[in-house]
Amino acid sequence: MDHFHYRQNSLFAEDLAVTAIAEQYGTPCYVYSRATLERHWRAFDQAFAAHPHLICYAVKANSNIAILNLLSRLGSGFDIVSIGELHRVLAAGGSPDKIVFSGVGKREDEILAALQIGIRCFNVEVNGELDRINRLAGQLGVIAPVSFRVNPDVDAKTHPYISTGLKENKFGIDISEALHEYRRAVQMLHIKVVGIDCHIGSQLTETAPFLDALDRVLALVDQLQAEGIQLHHLDLGGGLGINYRDEQPPQPAEYITALLQRLAGRDFEILLEPGRAIVGNAGVLLTRVEYLKPTAGKNFAIVDAAMNDLLRPALYSAWQDIIPVNTLSNAEAQTWDIVGPVCETGDFLGKNRLLKLSPADLLAVRSAGAYGFSMSSNYNSRPRAAEVLVDGDQSHLIRARETLAELWATEQLLP
Ligand code: LLP
């Protein structure tokens, strides 16, 4: 459930008319709902009840520091994949001891920074990474807490670009090699083995692949225990899907109950790394129709947001709902392709949408809170959009629209 709804034919974010937000901050503009964000995080947290757990929000989904700060205030941990995300979490007031560090390509400087800051755990994804962490921890005279991200070879049944738990994907350590890596790790002077981790993909709409992965992970855990290698936590990654159109993914409570049933009798702390399920439906992208361009073959509605603002439709042919901000319209309903001003045929936000459109109308692209702004760019020298967070009937600018001068602020002319 989210807090974007119509009141008297006009779209509201919580108790604020979206039209007022567009007037105040301009378009394109990302609008987030605090109540929705917090509700989704709590749905994960509360489903665990008394079972030891930590929800580590996947920062890549939406890394605005205001969002990270609100989640941190709820007690959230964070899953990061770069030094940039690490410093964002710190700037937002997140606790180092609740940070897990995933990613296949951790550089030396990133590992050193994370060791100095004292993060909760490194999710090791490459054999050589273990040796690198051990060596750097030795240099600093500290012990590095590690968990191996294993690749359980499970089909997540999602888009191939966001499926990560198959043998042919670059992520994680082949589950058949993991035992060997654990044996190596426990011998290392500056490594402390604390957990095991897997993440099989994103936008999963069924529980079964998660449970298959868990079964494979548990089989490995049993082997480790038989060798006297004890783990403290089990991290099952993120990946729970959301409703973009007619998907019916399990609710967090349903998913977590199924996990806990499978885990019965095992008292590991459970970590999850949800991103999309927390922030996806807590945000919309607000855009204004610039021109209507009916042609012989197609009707195009050219709007002021583009693929640089929201890449998902262009990159994955992702479908996101596009709704009018005001539903009262004298225009006739027609089928439109909603396209941006960028010079690429792939620059669309939605195709074949039945809408009543007039120039200057406001539209909201739904489910844009995750992998929206965080994947945006300056392509075509377009300043990145503003981000606004609504709390009740108040709005807060949490990222100002980029200025033109910022576009080239770090560039240099030759002498
Ligand atoms: N943990 C790890 C190790 C991950 O790689 C990811 C996402 C997550 C957690 C969070 O997954 P989530 O709960 O958000 O599904 N840009 C794509 C999604 C890429 C996901 C990458 N990894 C999209 O827009 O659909």
Say if residue 164's pLDDT is above 80: no
Q: Long-range contacts made by residues 376-383, C-beta under 8 angstroms, separation at least 24?
A: 376/308, 376/309, 376/310, 376/311, 377/308, 377/311, 378/308, 378/402, 378/407, 379/307, 379/308, 379/342, 380/306, 380/308, 380/341, 380/342, 380/343, 381/407, 382/306, 382/308, 382/309, 382/341, 382/342, 383/407
Do the annotations mark residue 247 as ligand-binding? no
Mean pLDDT for the stretch of residues 121-136: 96
**Catalytic residue check, 343:** yes
Closest alpha carbon to 354 in 327, 332, 336, 330: 336
Residue 343, burial from CB neighbour count under 10 angstroms (0-12, 13-18, 19+): exposed
Lowest-pLDDT choice from 140-149, 150-159, 246-255, 276-285 = 150-159
- Tell me which amino acid residue 131 is: D
Say if residue 302's pLDDT is above 70: yes
Say if residue 163's pLDDT is above 80: no
Cα–ligand 1 centroid distance for 58 (angstroms)? 7
CA pair distance 247, 37, nearest whole angstrom: 20
Which residue among 29, 121, 198, 343 is the active-site one? 343
pLDDT attached to residue 158: 72
As a whole-number percent, the residues of the chain with pLDDT over 90 amount to: 93
| 74-108 pLDDT per residue, tens | 999 999 999 999 999 999 999 999 999 999 999 99
Pocket test residue of 41, 60, 102, 149 for ligand 1, highest count of atoms within 8 A of CB? 60
Any residues with Cβ below 6 Å from ligand 1, and which?
58, 61, 79, 102, 162, 199, 202-203, 237-240, 273-277, 312, 370-371
pLDDT attached to residue 265: 83
Separation in Å, CA 40 to CA 30, 37, 168, 342, 408: 18, 5, 32, 34, 38
| Side-by-side strand order, sheet with 4-7 | 4-7, 10-13, 16-17
Mean pLDDT of the chain: 96
Q: Retrieve residue 225's tokens.
A: 């225990």
Say if residue 165's pLDDT is above 70: no
Say if residue 166's pLDDT is above 80: no
Sorted by where each starts, the structural domains of the chain and their CATH numbers stand as 4-32+280-407 (2.40.37.10), 103-272 (3.20.20.10)
Cα–ligand 1 centroid distance for 275 (angstroms)? 6
Residue 329, burial from CB neighbour count under 10 angstroms (0-12, 13-18, 19+): middle
Residues 385, 390, 396, 399, Cα dihedral to 10°:
-30
Structure pTM?
A: 0.97
pLDDT attached to residue 157: 73
Say if residue 287's pLDDT is above 90: yes
Residues 52, 58, 62, 65, Cα dihedral to 10°:
60
Sort strands 283-294 and 29-33 into parallel, antiparallel or unpaired.
antiparallel
Give the number of other CB atoms < 10 A from CB of residue 113. Answer: 16
H or E segment at 324?
strand 322-324
pLDDT attached to residue 162: 65
* Residue, of 288 and 163, whose pLDDT is higher: 288
Cα–ligand 1 centroid distance for 160 (angstroms)? 13
CA pair distance 74, 55, nearest whole angstrom: 10
Sort strands 386-391 and 333-339 into parallel, antiparallel or unpaired.
unpaired
Do the annotations mark residue 392 as ligand-binding? no
Mean pLDDT for the stretch of residues 60-68: 99
| 254-273 pLDDT per residue, tens | 999 999 999 988 989 999 99
ipTM comes to 0.99
pLDDT band at 334 (very low <50, low <70, confident <90, very high): very high
Separation in Å, CA 141 to CA 69, 133, 183: 31, 12, 22
Within 13 Å, how many C-alpha atoms sit on residue 220's CB side? 27
Q: Long-range contacts made by residues 18-22, C-beta under 8 angstroms, separation at least 24?
A: 18/284, 18/286, 18/325, 18/362, 18/364, 19/325, 19/326, 19/362, 20/395, 21/286, 21/388, 21/390, 21/395, 22/286, 22/288, 22/325, 22/362
Say if residue 390's pLDDT is above 90: yes
Phi/psi of residue 118, nearest 5 degrees: 80, 55
Residue bearing the CA closest to ligand 1, atom 6: 238
Say if residue 290's pLDDT is above 70: yes
Say if residue 274's pLDDT is above 80: yes
CA pair distance 212, 215, nearest whole angstrom: 5
pLDDT band at 170 (very low <50, low <70, confident <90, very high): confident
User: Which atom of ligand 1 lies nearest, measured to the CA of 197?
Assistant: 3
pLDDT band at 176 (very low <50, low <70, confident <90, very high): confident
pLDDT attached to residue 378: 98
| 1-47 pLDDT per residue, tens | 899 999 999 999 999 999 999 999 999 999 999 999 999 999 999 99
Residue 394, burial from CB neighbour count under 10 angstroms (0-12, 13-18, 19+): exposed
Say if residue 380's pLDDT is above 90: yes
Cα–ligand 1 centroid distance for 339 (angstroms)? 26
Do the annotations mark residue 216 as ligand-binding? no
Pocket test residue of 123, 244, 273, 316 for ligand 1, highest count of atoms within 8 A of CB? 273
pLDDT attached to residue 161: 66
Mean pLDDT for the stretch of residues 291-310: 97
| 178-234 pLDDT per residue, tens | 999 999 999 999 999 999 999 999 999 999 999 999 999 999 999 999 999 999 999
CB 12 within 8 A of CB 18: yes
Task: List, in order, residues 6 or more apart from 380 with CB less than 8 Å away.
Answer: 306, 308, 341, 342, 343
